[in-house]
Amino acid sequence: MIDNSRATPIIKWAGGKTKVLKQLITKFPFELHYGKIRNYYEPFFGGGAVFFNIIQNYNIQNCVLSDVNEELMLFYNVVKKDPNKLLSFVEKYQSNYDRLTDSDKEKFYYEIRNTYNIERFNIDFNDYSYLFVPRAAQMLFLNKTCYNGLFRQNLRGEFNVPFGKNYKTNIVDKNNLYKVSKTLENVSLLCTDFQEICEKIEDRDSFVYLDPPYRPINKSARFTNYHMSNFIDNDQFRLAEIFKKLNEKNVKLMLNNSCSNTYDDSGVIENFYKDFQISYINTSSTMSSISSKRKKINELIITNY
């Protein structure tokens, strides 16, 4: 039987767009639907749900994906270059994990987490090496067994998410791993600040999707620790200025962020983008591990078309 399914996100990431993808597709520029967009850029890559949809459904000839999180981009580079080796490491983790008791599974998790954090200091993230593959396998294992699939780092760059009590879990879908690897084959993967990517974009037949860490919606929901360096209001302002500069180049732009029910009720994001098209989508917070406790919230979609 021929498997006609498409590549889908391989890891869970805070703010992932899988659940709202259908809503986002309706907001894509018509030039994309009609094959007039050749270049696609995503400077806040994360889980990649939007990318996987666009690259497999539209006529994109050049694609650049980036994220400031070194661990995330290391992982995707390994998926792209060494899926067989990655699978071999992951299957060993799966085998070891499956035969442990529940209490030993928790111990095993913290052993892997400790190793992952210690070995960080041996990694040159700018130089692809044999060390990347086992590290990517560790990250995938942690992502599938930690609390709520959350990736969080402290100021030292250490992964500090507790065990998620996922005693029965499938760490990787082998078929999807290979599909993702194939999808990334001709894609440029970078690890840099969004500004460095965006300032180099010149072509009018380009679409840039911007999904930054959201401005917190209240005092108790201030999760921006996708990386050891937090994304603060100054970064939101920098992004808004970049958005305006790209608009002047006639690049198609779409951006997501939180809407004005922020903890200080200032409407900061709306004010930054008051000269552009602002619409809303309905979603729910994914920060609770219990789906019934996830609150329904609105998010902004900002476009220049």
- Which phi and psi (to 5°) does residue 129 adopt? -145, 180
pLDDT at 1: 42
For Cα atoms 293, 223, 19, give the angle at the middle one, nearest 5 degrees. 55
| Helix ranges, 184-225 (H) | 194-198
Cβ neighbours for 148, distance < 8 A, ≥ 6 positions apart: 12, 164, 286, 287, 288, 289
Say whether pLDDT at 295 is over 70: no
Q: Is the pTM of this model over 0.85?
A: yes
- What whole-number distance in Å separates Cα of residue 54 and Cα of residue 38? 11
CA-based nearest residue to 157, from 57, 71, 279, 251: 71
Helix (H) or strand (E) holding 185: none
Which residue type occupies 17?
Answer: K
SS3 content of the chain, % helix, strand, coil (to 5): 40, 15, 45
- Kindly state the average pLDDT of the residues 258-263: 67
| Domains of the chain and CATH, by start | 18-68+192-303 (3.40.50.150), 72-177 (1.10.1020.10)
Q: What is the pLDDT of residues 19-77, one digit of tens each?
A: 999 999 999 999 999 999 999 999 999 999 999 999 999 999 999 999 999 999 999 99
pLDDT at 264: 55
pLDDT at 302: 98
Q: What is the pLDDT of residues 2-18, one digit of tens each?
A: 456 899 999 999 999 99
pLDDT at 268: 87
User: What is the spatial order of strands in the sheet that 188-190 belongs to?
Assistant: 188-190, 62-66, 39-42, 206-210, 252-258, 296-303, 277-284
pLDDT at 245: 98
294 pLDDT tier (thresholds 50, 70, 90): low
127 pLDDT tier (thresholds 50, 70, 90): very high
β-strand pairing of 252-258 with 296-303: antiparallel
Q: Give helix 132-145 / helix 70-81 axis angle, nearest 10°.
A: 110
Mean pLDDT computed over every residue of the chain: 91
pLDDT at 219: 60
89 pLDDT tier (thresholds 50, 70, 90): very high
Q: What is the pLDDT of residues 139-166, one digit of tens each?
A: 999 999 999 999 999 989 999 999 999 9
122 pLDDT tier (thresholds 50, 70, 90): very high
Q: Give helix 174-183 / helix 83-98 axis angle, nearest 10°.
A: 160
229 pLDDT tier (thresholds 50, 70, 90): low
- What whole-number distance in Å separates Cα of residue 272 and Cα of residue 269? 5
Bigger pLDDT: 168 vs 230: 168
β-strand pairing of 277-284 with 296-303: antiparallel
pLDDT at 259: 85
pLDDT at 51: 99
230 pLDDT tier (thresholds 50, 70, 90): confident
